[in-house]
Amino acid sequence: MRVQQKIFQMIQDFETIIIHRHERPDPDAIASQCGLKKILQASFPPKKIYAVGSFNDSLKFLARMDKKVNDEVYQDALVIVVDTADVARISDERFAKGKKLIKIDHHPNDDIYGDLLWVEPTVSSTSELIVHFYLTFKNKLKMTTEAARLLYAGIVGDTGRFLYPATTAKTLEIASFLLTFPFNASLISRELSTISMKVAKLSGYVYQNISVDENGAAYVLLSTKILQSYNVAEFETSAIVSLPGMIDEVLSWVIFVEKAEGGFRARLRSKGPTINEIAKRYNGGGHLLASGANAKNHEEVQKIYREIQDVAQKWRNKQ
């Protein structure tokens, strides 16, 4: 039996389903989680379906989490974790308390967890995967306008509005199908790309202070002092990660953001050379061209940047 069928069977078998995703959620994490929740709620009205995990208000235009999911609810529950490559990143550690565990994801399958795993690293987003799942069982599942709105947002989020190479003909076909539902797609795109004035000003800092070497390896470091001077919190910096990619001379880049608890969060991006192996060496991981890692101190910041310079140089030499 194909794994999708086994997943569908397991969903049918449980009365309580709790959906988790990764910490520090991005639009695809929230959208695939809550999009799946809406589909399952509409398709199986008697079932109790919950979405849980830590949340900040910047994505509240998408959805909100269910409060008051007590520990006892997990006893007889099926837990589905979406968009989360490894156990350490799952938000709300109670995910392990359920009866069965399913992983649905589109990151490289580096951490194999769960009773059932459905992982498709070539698919643009977990939201796109959820639509594949819906289409496979569309005789038994119901898509709603709200689910379509969420899943469209997740695809737009993870593809950078259909910019990144993971955008395929299938992605656009699925986006086209979602647009047949009467939600405001241009509003979603605007909400996903709107930034606050203070983040706009921080963007100016990023462009003014970016260092680029002769092979297009670039980095910017945002210290706590700089963040404070722009009145920007660390979690608000996600909007600036893609900015260096707009610069012609930049091939691969990393943005370091100093963490309140010490050390630096490193966000690695690339237009060509793969950078996820570097991320894995520094307590991180992710996609081939978009990963996250952690630097303990300034020395590791320099080491990560040197490794980016290395892959950029090798890539250029091959061109």
| List of residues contacting Mn ion (CB under 5 A) | 28, 83, 125-126, 158
**Alpha helix locations (H) across the chain?**
3-13, 27-43, 126-136, 145-159, 169-178, 185-193, 197-209, 224-229, 276-281, 298-318
Minimum CB distance to Mn ion smaller for 22 or for 230: 22
Minimum CB distance to Mn ion smaller for 125 or for 276: 125
Confirm if 107 and 158 have CB atoms less than 8 A apart: no
Minimum CB distance to Mn ion smaller for 83 or for 92: 83
Shortest Cβ 298–Mn ion spacing (Å): 30
Sheet of 48-51, strands arranged across: 48-51, 16-20, 77-82, 100-105, 116-119
Minimum CB distance to Mn ion smaller for 126 or for 171: 126
* Alpha-carbon span 144 to 55, nearest angstrom: 24
Q: Which residue has the tokens 């109670």?
A: 94
Minimum CB distance to Mn ion smaller for 17 or for 31: 31
Shortest Cβ 26–Mn ion spacing (Å): 7
Angle, in degrees to the nearest 10, between helices 126-136 and 3-13: 80
Shortest Cβ 39–Mn ion spacing (Å): 17
In terms of Cβ atoms closer than 10 Å to its own Cβ (0-12, 13-18, 19+), residue 147 is buried
> DSSP for 71-118?
GGGGTTEEEEEES-SSGGGBSSGGGGGSSEEEEEE-S---S--SSEEE
Shortest Cβ 150–Mn ion spacing (Å): 13
Shortest Cβ 113–Mn ion spacing (Å): 17
Shortest Cβ 309–Mn ion spacing (Å): 27
Minimum CB distance to Mn ion smaller for 164 or for 282: 164
Nearest residue by C-beta to Mn ion? 28
Both tokens assigned to 303: 């080491």
